[in-house]
Amino acid sequence: MNYLYFGIVLGIFTLVWIFLKWKKRMIMVTHSGAYHLDDVFSTSVLIIKAKMEGNFFQVIRTRDEKKFEKWRMARKKGREVYIYDVGRIYNEEKNEFDHHQIGGAGKRKNGIEYSSAGLVWKKFGKEVCGSEEIAWKIEKKMVLAIDALDNGQSIYEQKYDFYNYDLSNLIKSFLPVKKNKFKLNFAFCKSVRLLENILKKEINFSKKLVDDEKKVSEVYRKSENKKVLIFKDSDISTISIVEKYPDVLFTITQKEKNVWVIETISKKFGSFERRKYLPKSWGGLEGYDLDNITGVVGGIFCHRNVFIASARTEKSAREMVEIALKNKE
């Protein structure tokens, strides 16, 4: 019987706790109807923030001005309320993040205007990432493109005639063919859930990049020949070399016990144009044929576009790189 009373008391306590937490829940207000990448991203950021703080939350999708005013009044009474991508007000102190008003909500030095995604990220990016450095990496990788797209700004010149499938298209694919309020809200929730998971993974990946940059810096500092960096940790990302080390031409990385990969370095981030290529005569060769033309024993293969190759030993990889460095092509 004592267990029964204990269970009843515990149940009542739990219900009271849930009620009090719900009463103080974070309120997120955005527009109803068809959604876009910026409001989905903003919602994902705020949900991550709420979960980090241990808060309950509610997402309200509406275009009713009376409801905006209702939640603004609740904010004045101490409620945690966020209104974004709707309302035609940008006021960071009051947690209102719209950009549809006349004059917009400002733009960056590079010319990219802010959408609700960028405005929310500007205020809370550092908080959800844990550091300014990681938040800036996410800004460059995701937020800039989201803002540009939502404001109708082109960020690249399309070289080939094809339909570019990006994160925006992925989110749009959740939109129902036959739209009604229930289906749109359900699709919005699924889209937010997906983007929340993607954003969490990108934050974790960016944290790893920061750690890897420190390791790359240490290898660079200790390297006698700054044109070639050698890594015995196959899990290190060498992305930072493109931006921070303009004199590096090749990396050699041990991927497996008997596999050392030679990689060329891009001239700029996102470009396939390299600072220096491997000799053209190596392109497409492997095994004995590659050894025969390089004069180095232990070659595995060389890509036909001569931007990557591999060898069985560090010594073989080093010798191949020395030949590539002297190559005048």
Q: Residue 1: pLDDT above 70?
A: no
Please say whether the dihedral angle defined by the alpha carbons of residues 287, 293, 299 and 303, taken in this order, is positive or negative: negative
Single out the residue of 329, 295, 327 nearest to residue 311, CA to CA: 295
DSSP letters along 89-133, please?
-EEGGGTEE---STTTT-B-TTSPBP-HHHHHHHHHHHHHHSSHH
- 256-310 pLDDT, tens digit each: 889 999 999 999 887 889 999 999 999 999 999 999 999 999 999 999 999 999 9
**Among 151, 175, 207, which residue terminates a domain?**
207
Token readout for 317 is: 């990889």
- 102-114 pLDDT, tens digit each: 999 999 999 999 9
> Is there a single domain that holds both residue 11 and residue 142?
yes
- Domain for residue 214, yes or no? no
**pLDDT (0 to 100) of residue 201:** 97
> Is there a single domain that holds both residue 182 and residue 58?
yes
> Is there a single domain that holds both residue 176 and residue 228?
no
Number of structural domains, the chain? 2
**Among 142, 175, 207, which residue terminates a domain?**
207
**Among 207, 235, 263, which residue terminates a domain?**
207
- Domain for residue 212, yes or no? no
pTM listed for this prediction = 0.87
SS3 of 67, please?
helix
Token readout for 13 is: 């306590």
> Is there a single domain that holds both residue 187 and residue 230?
no
Residues spanned by the domain of 321: 223-326
Token readout for 246 is: 């303009």
Phi, psi (deg, nearest 5) at residue 250? -140, 150
